[in-house]
Amino acid sequence: MTEAPPYPQKRTCPYAPPPGYKEIGDRGPVLKVTLFDGREAWMVTGYQESREILTHPNLSSQRTHPDFPIVAPRFRSQIARSLALIAMDPPEHDVYRRYLNPHFSLKQVRRMRPEIEAIVSGHVDRIIEHGPPADLVPLLAVPLPSLVICRHLGVPYEDHDFFQDASGKVMLGTEEESGTAAQDLVDYIDRLVTAQIKEPTEGLLATLVRERVIPGDIGHEELVSIALVLLIAAHETTSSSLALGIITLLEHPRELARLHEDITRLPGAIEELLRFIATTDLVATRVAKGDIEIAGHHIRAGEGVLVSGTLANRDDAVHQRADDFDILRDDTHHVTFGFGIHQCLGQNLARLELEVALHELLTRIPGMRLAVGMDELPILGAGTVQRVLELPVEW
């Protein structure tokens, strides 16, 4: 292997890390990797080291920093480098989180359960009516998180085809596609915010207009940026996690049988799925704003830092049989949602959507199985969100 191995690398299995990551993990917990543009950045692969560095005061999320590590051409756009929350440091970041946390709290998300259960039930009705083979990507994995976040934000669901397509291009398109799609989304959300300012209706956007924009706490453009992040993050990651989670269960019949024996094991199974599949390969892309000492390495101010959730979640130092999928394991702890102040705002909502969807599928279609070989499933993504484009099942 080269002194600084290439990153990212493409997966050959929907739920497993790229083959080359094994050597990267073995050389961790901290090492240098080479990005697409030839620049080098530090990568943290150890579980404990990931938690340590994600709370270090000298780690910055400021993507406008000239030395911020860009892991793919599509993330070079001005919009990608100035996103609310994601590209912010304290104290500004803390203010935004304080505004948003109550709307994604566990208490608030639990209130959404009946609505999410009704949405999922309706989609599974249509899957059964469709009959086998049925592609679970367009029939469930894509529309479920889209509909949920649309209702939560107050975004018209009739526009979901547009923002599903646009958000996919932002995360996985070429540099030109990503930049154009991001601007299209900004323009779309800008019109929504303008309408809400004129006449607030229902949903989180309207609430933030009343509580934060009109009093002057945040500006119009800031709310547009916040909504952009929420719309993309809530759709892309949950959609991919659901599809990859289904594949993982169907490809591990012993674990699937354990769930059929006792469906109350599902919450633990979801934590293991989150650890195992690592839908978002990176849980953090940062730049050092001051020197950092970690695991015997000296990271200098201005150097890029990547934190690999994929490898941290499979760290043999903290997980027994780290590469095994075991829904009964005790050590399901993971950093899939990040750690520290930037921990995923929507993690409670994501867990609930996964739980409700998997419960409905497993109890109503217990004989579900892949309709094609796993090697025939088209997968897309390297270094950001892993996505399966089709998921045909039969029963």
Over its C-alpha atoms, the chain yields an Rg (Å, rounded) of: 21
Please give the pLDDT value at position 383: 56
Residues 6+ apart with CB under 8 A from 332: 268, 271, 272, 274, 275
Please give the pLDDT value at position 123: 98
Which structure tokens are listed for 260? 């059929």
21-394 domain in CATH 2.40.280.10?
Answer: no
* Domain spans of the chain, in order of start: 21-394
* pLDDT, block means (10 residues), the chain with 395 residues: 82 89 91 94 97 97 93 81 88 94 95 97 98 97 92 86 79 78 89 88 92 92 90 86 97 98 98 93 95 97 96 95 96 94 95 98 97 91 77 98
- What gap in Å lies between CA 282 and CA 337, rounded to an integer? 10
Please give the pLDDT value at position 1: 46
- 44-53 as b/e: b if 16+ CB within 10 A: bbbbebbbbb
Q: How wide is the angle at C-alpha 2 spanned by C-alphas 301 and 282, nearest 5°?
A: 55
Q: What is the pTM assigned to this prediction? A: 0.94
CB 103 within 8 A of CB 204: yes
From 234, 229, 198, 228, select the one nearest 213 (Cα to Cα).
198
